[in-house]
Amino acid sequence: MPQTRTRPAWLAEQRSAEPSSVQLRQQRHQLMQEARGIYRQCEQQQRDLTAQESTEFERLTRDIEQLTERIETAEAAEHRSAASAEPIRRNSRGPDDGTGAGSSLPSTRARDAVRLERSQSMADHVRSRGYTGGEDLSFDRLVRGMLTGTWIGADAERRALSEGVTGAGGVLVPTPLAAQVLDLARAQTRVMQAGASTVPMETQTLKIARQTGDPTLAWHTEAAAIAESDLSFDSITLTAKTLPCLIKASIEVLEDVDNLDNIITNSVAKALALELDRVALRGSGTDPEPRGLRNTSGITVTDLGAAAGLAPTWDHYVQAVGTVRGEEYEPNAAIHNPRTETDLSLLKDGQGQYLQPPAALAALQQLTTTQVPIDLTHGTATDASEAYIGDWSQLIIGMRTSFSIRPLTERYVDTGEVGFFAYLRADVAVAHPEAFNVLTGIIPAA
């Protein structure tokens, strides 16, 4: 039985003598081997953890998680140090370096934050930071191996698993593989399809610079003093919050289905995408939930009808677009429930001809999601909904570049199923609230 360990010496080291990322990884690997040894012994003896083993395993888990945070910080610092020897072009969208990830380096400083647009992938970003491999790995094979113990045809996934961080029976998915799953989730997230950007987070918190004012110009009279006019900036802070995802499947499916690849991956990505949409649009901002657009101070909210709401018309959308343009932003998309899109599509003129969207809405992309509810109480109505119209480049989704999975082999044993619990960490921020207009009180057409 493993002996209870004293707290490792590295936890007491001063930051002035911080080890390199390689040394930290070696330390983490040693702790992971100890943690696996505890579980391996229990499996061989076909028994559960003793109280002493459970306490020791939890201690190891905490130490491993702390080391993981330190590894990320050390790698980011080493990356910046190496890059400081040569000039790097920077701009808000990143240089044309062929990676699609921009060249800004990871840091907690606002000016170093990387913003990935819809066309840029998280996988390219992590590769630009030095992570290699992962292209041939399968998340489905990794999960199936974890849940069934069968690794036939999944040798690469088994080796990758041995490098993951074991924590309370869970595993940190290898960063390149995690990035692939996150990219699938991003692709299915409506707010990102509309143009919201992703900011990879290397630490729990990240500050992003925000311009709050433009210079004021005035024509110059000969020999008169020229008034000073400065740009003004502040920052917004992203704080990673935990988003869980619980998936289960029958043992028969996991063991017998040959074409399982991508089924689990797509299920996880879809579930994550739906919840990211919900929280980005309507998150309460009460911990642990991020604050979404609807509850962000400064967002323009237009009530279609205080008494009982109104059915949507193109006029409402034209007015919302005009409101956003009046704030010097160009709205590019509207996100609403499928019911609202159907009602708008069924609008007809006096001759029974379908009404086309006005020219002012020609460039406005329309996206639907059931994460916009249709059962809101608005005045006397109990079937109201909302529509979100704006310049979606002003919405930011902060996202950690890795996530964890934990097998649940005992929870569903009475139904012959197994499950796994996966979670990522993310946050939502609005760079400029005035770039959005939310229509409320949308009721179904009669």
User: Residue 103, by phi and psi: left (phi above 0), alpha (psi -120 to 50) or beta?
Assistant: alpha
Angle at 347 between CA 321 and CA 302, to 5 degrees: 35
Please, what's the b/e burial string for 247-282 (b: 16 or more CB within 10 A of its CB; e: otherwise)?
A: bebebeebeeeeebeeebbbebbebbbbbbbbbbbb
Mean pLDDT of the chain: 78
| DSSP helix/strand/coil, 443 | coil
Asked if 440 and 372 touch (Cβ cutoff 8 Å), the reply is no
pLDDT of residue 109: 43
- Pairwise pLDDT comparison (187 vs 139), residue with the higher score: 187
CA torsion angle 239 267 159 33 (round to 10): 50
Q: Classify residue 21 by its DSSP letter.
A: H
pLDDT at position 250 over 90: no
Kindly give the residue spans of alpha helices, DSSP state H, lying in 136-235.
139-148, 155-162, 175-188, 190-193
pLDDT at position 93 over 80: no
Separation CA 115–CA 429 (nearest Å): 13
Asked if 249 and 418 touch (Cβ cutoff 8 Å), the reply is yes
Q: What percent of the chain has pLDDT over 90?
A: 34
Asked if 332 and 363 touch (Cβ cutoff 8 Å), the reply is yes
pLDDT of residue 394: 94
Separation CA 199–CA 186 (nearest Å): 12
Q: Is the peptide bond before 407 cis (omega within 30 degrees of 0)?
A: no
Q: Which two tokens stand for residue 298?
A: 């400064």
Q: Classify residue 284 by its DSSP letter.
A: B
- Pairwise pLDDT comparison (416 vs 93), residue with the higher score: 416
Separation CA 142–CA 422 (nearest Å): 13
Separation CA 155–CA 260 (nearest Å): 16
Q: What is the pLDDT of residues 264-309, one digit of tens each?
A: 888 888 888 999 999 999 999 998 899 999 999 999 999 998 788 9
Confidence label for 16 from pLDDT (cuts 50, 70 and 90): very low
pLDDT of residue 289: 92
Separation CA 124–CA 112 (nearest Å): 17
First to last CA, the chain: 71
Please name which of 80, 68, 140 lies closest in space to residue 112, comparing C-alpha atoms. Answer: 80
pLDDT of residue 432: 92
pLDDT at position 10 over 70: no
Q: Which two tokens stand for residue 432?
A: 């400029």
pLDDT at position 443 over 90: yes
pLDDT at position 349 over 50: yes
Q: What is the pLDDT of residues 42-92, one digit of tens each?
A: 666 767 778 888 788 778 877 877 777 777 777 666 655 554 433 323 333
- Pairwise pLDDT comparison (431 vs 73), residue with the higher score: 431
Asked if 162 and 155 touch (Cβ cutoff 8 Å), the reply is no
Q: Which two tokens stand for residue 41?
A: 């012994």
Q: What is the pLDDT of residues 137-159, one digit of tens each?
A: 788 888 877 777 777 777 777 77
234 CB-contact burial (10 Å; exposed 0-12 / middle 13-18 / buried 19+): exposed
pLDDT of residue 96: 35
Q: What percent of the chain has pLDDT over 70?
A: 77
The count of other CB atoms within 10 Å of the CB of residue 145 is 21
β-strands 395-400, 197-201: how paired?
Answer: parallel
The pTM of the full predicted model, rounded to 2 decimals, is 0.70
Query: What residue has token string 């692939």?
Result: 180
Confidence label for 225 from pLDDT (cuts 50, 70 and 90): confident
Cα 11 to chain center, whole Å? 30
Asked if 392 and 333 touch (Cβ cutoff 8 Å), the reply is yes
Q: What is the pLDDT of residues 104-132, one digit of tens each?
A: 333 334 445 688 888 888 888 887 777 66
